[in-house]
Amino acid sequence: MRNIRKAQDNDWERIWPIFHEVVRAGDTYAYDSNTSKDRGRVLWLDNPRETFVVEDSGDIVGTYYIKTNQSGPGSHVCNCGYMVASTARGKGVATTMCEHSQKRARDLGYLAMQFNFVAASNQGALALWHTLGFDTVGTLPKAFNHPRDGLIDAYVMYKTL
Protein backbone atom coordinates (compact mmCIF):
# COMPACT_ATOMS: atom_id res chain seq x y z
CA MET A 1 0.00 0.00 0.00
CA ARG A 2 1.34 3.43 -0.97
CA ASN A 3 1.76 6.19 1.54
CA ILE A 4 2.95 9.76 0.92
CA ARG A 5 4.36 11.65 3.87
CA LYS A 6 6.71 14.51 4.63
CA ALA A 7 10.32 13.45 4.61
CA GLN A 8 12.13 13.48 7.92
CA ASP A 9 15.84 14.05 8.50
CA ASN A 10 16.48 10.36 9.04
CA ASP A 11 14.89 9.52 5.65
CA TRP A 12 17.90 10.87 3.77
CA GLU A 13 19.73 7.54 4.03
CA ARG A 14 16.84 5.91 2.10
CA ILE A 15 16.30 8.84 -0.30
CA TRP A 16 19.99 9.02 -1.23
CA PRO A 17 20.05 5.81 -3.34
CA ILE A 18 17.20 7.17 -5.49
CA PHE A 19 18.75 10.63 -5.74
CA HIS A 20 22.17 9.18 -6.53
CA GLU A 21 20.84 6.80 -9.19
CA VAL A 22 18.88 9.54 -11.00
CA VAL A 23 21.59 12.20 -10.77
CA ARG A 24 24.41 9.82 -11.65
CA ALA A 25 22.64 8.91 -14.92
CA GLY A 26 22.91 12.57 -15.94
CA ASP A 27 19.99 12.36 -18.36
CA THR A 28 17.16 14.19 -16.57
CA TYR A 29 18.42 16.63 -13.91
CA ALA A 30 20.86 19.49 -14.37
CA TYR A 31 22.79 18.47 -11.27
CA ASP A 32 26.43 17.47 -11.53
CA SER A 33 26.44 13.69 -11.98
CA ASN A 34 29.07 13.52 -9.23
CA THR A 35 26.94 15.38 -6.66
CA SER A 36 28.05 14.28 -3.20
CA LYS A 37 25.72 12.80 -0.64
CA ASP A 38 26.04 15.92 1.55
CA ARG A 39 25.38 18.31 -1.35
CA GLY A 40 22.47 16.15 -2.49
CA ARG A 41 20.90 16.43 0.94
CA VAL A 42 21.13 20.22 0.80
CA LEU A 43 19.58 20.33 -2.69
CA TRP A 44 16.79 17.82 -2.05
CA LEU A 45 16.02 17.87 1.66
CA ASP A 46 17.35 21.05 3.26
CA ASN A 47 16.72 23.84 0.70
CA PRO A 48 13.16 23.09 -0.48
CA ARG A 49 10.15 24.31 1.46
CA GLU A 50 9.00 20.71 1.89
CA THR A 51 10.14 17.28 0.75
CA PHE A 52 7.96 14.18 0.60
CA VAL A 53 8.55 10.47 0.21
CA VAL A 54 6.36 7.77 -1.25
CA GLU A 55 6.48 4.50 0.63
CA ASP A 56 5.30 1.18 -0.73
CA SER A 57 5.33 -1.71 1.73
CA GLY A 58 7.76 0.25 3.90
CA ASP A 59 10.25 1.01 1.09
CA ILE A 60 10.79 4.54 -0.20
CA VAL A 61 10.09 4.29 -3.94
CA GLY A 62 9.78 7.98 -4.80
CA THR A 63 10.43 11.46 -3.49
CA TYR A 64 9.58 15.01 -4.42
CA TYR A 65 10.24 18.52 -3.20
CA ILE A 66 8.23 21.70 -3.40
CA LYS A 67 9.74 25.17 -3.19
CA THR A 68 8.98 28.74 -4.15
CA ASN A 69 10.16 29.25 -7.72
CA GLN A 70 11.04 32.95 -7.39
CA SER A 71 10.97 35.40 -4.50
CA GLY A 72 8.98 38.61 -4.21
CA PRO A 73 6.46 39.20 -7.00
CA GLY A 74 6.93 35.63 -8.27
CA SER A 75 6.47 33.91 -4.92
CA HIS A 76 2.97 32.67 -5.78
CA VAL A 77 4.50 30.15 -8.23
CA CYS A 78 6.12 26.97 -6.95
CA ASN A 79 8.56 24.52 -8.45
CA CYS A 80 8.73 20.79 -7.81
CA GLY A 81 11.19 18.03 -8.59
CA TYR A 82 10.34 14.32 -8.65
CA MET A 83 12.47 11.18 -8.52
CA VAL A 84 11.33 7.56 -8.71
CA ALA A 85 13.44 4.51 -7.93
CA SER A 86 14.19 2.51 -11.08
CA THR A 87 12.45 -0.52 -9.55
CA ALA A 88 9.21 1.47 -9.23
CA ARG A 89 9.09 3.25 -12.60
CA GLY A 90 6.05 2.71 -14.77
CA LYS A 91 3.85 1.98 -11.75
CA GLY A 92 2.18 5.37 -11.32
CA VAL A 93 4.49 6.74 -8.62
CA ALA A 94 5.29 9.95 -10.53
CA THR A 95 1.59 10.50 -11.27
CA THR A 96 0.75 10.05 -7.59
CA MET A 97 3.48 12.49 -6.56
CA CYS A 98 2.52 15.14 -9.09
CA GLU A 99 -1.14 14.99 -8.12
CA HIS A 100 -0.19 15.17 -4.43
CA SER A 101 2.19 18.07 -5.04
CA GLN A 102 -0.48 20.10 -6.82
CA LYS A 103 -2.86 19.69 -3.89
CA ARG A 104 -0.08 20.52 -1.44
CA ALA A 105 0.89 23.57 -3.49
CA ARG A 106 -2.68 24.89 -3.33
CA ASP A 107 -2.75 24.22 0.42
CA LEU A 108 0.46 26.26 0.77
CA GLY A 109 -1.12 29.16 -1.15
CA TYR A 110 0.62 28.78 -4.49
CA LEU A 111 -1.38 29.78 -7.57
CA ALA A 112 0.73 28.02 -10.19
CA MET A 113 3.44 25.41 -10.66
CA GLN A 114 6.41 25.75 -13.01
CA PHE A 115 8.94 23.18 -14.12
CA ASN A 116 12.02 25.16 -15.10
CA PHE A 117 14.08 22.63 -16.99
CA VAL A 118 12.60 19.44 -18.46
CA ALA A 119 15.05 17.71 -20.79
CA ALA A 120 13.55 17.07 -24.24
CA SER A 121 14.76 13.47 -24.02
CA ASN A 122 12.64 12.85 -20.92
CA GLN A 123 9.66 11.78 -23.02
CA GLY A 124 7.92 9.93 -20.18
CA ALA A 125 7.90 12.99 -17.94
CA LEU A 126 6.86 15.31 -20.77
CA ALA A 127 3.90 13.08 -21.66
CA LEU A 128 2.87 12.76 -18.02
CA TRP A 129 3.10 16.48 -17.30
CA HIS A 130 0.99 17.23 -20.39
CA THR A 131 -1.58 14.61 -19.31
CA LEU A 132 -1.74 16.30 -15.89
CA GLY A 133 -2.50 19.69 -17.46
CA PHE A 134 0.90 21.35 -17.82
CA ASP A 135 1.65 23.43 -20.91
CA THR A 136 5.06 23.79 -22.49
CA VAL A 137 5.53 27.55 -22.41
CA GLY A 138 9.12 27.84 -23.50
CA THR A 139 11.98 26.08 -25.21
CA LEU A 140 15.58 26.52 -24.12
CA PRO A 141 17.54 25.57 -27.26
CA LYS A 142 20.39 23.14 -26.65
CA ALA A 143 20.36 23.98 -22.93
CA PHE A 144 20.88 20.41 -21.66
CA ASN A 145 24.05 18.44 -22.31
CA HIS A 146 22.70 14.88 -22.42
CA PRO A 147 25.33 12.16 -21.85
CA ARG A 148 24.37 10.24 -25.04
CA ASP A 149 22.51 12.75 -27.21
CA GLY A 150 24.73 15.79 -26.68
CA LEU A 151 23.18 19.25 -26.62
CA ILE A 152 19.38 18.98 -26.59
CA ASP A 153 16.53 21.34 -25.81
CA ALA A 154 15.00 21.78 -22.38
CA TYR A 155 11.45 22.96 -21.77
CA VAL A 156 9.75 25.25 -19.30
CA MET A 157 6.34 23.90 -18.30
CA TYR A 158 3.56 25.69 -16.40
CA LYS A 159 0.18 25.07 -14.87
CA THR A 160 -2.22 27.37 -13.11
CA LEU A 161 -3.48 25.63 -9.98
Class of the CATH-defined domain 2-160: alpha beta
Q: Which residue, 10, 21, 115, 137, is CA-closest to 65? A: 115
The region, left, alpha or beta by phi > 0 then psi within -120 to 50, assigned to residue 92 is left
Q: What is the pLDDT along the chain (161 residues), one digit of tens a residue?
A: 789 999 999 999 999 999 999 999 999 999 999 999 999 999 999 999 999 999 999 999 999 999 999 999 999 999 999 999 999 999 999 999 999 999 999 999 999 999 999 999 999 999 999 999 999 999 999 999 999 999 999 999 999 99
**What's the pTM value of the predicted model, to 2 decimals?**
0.94
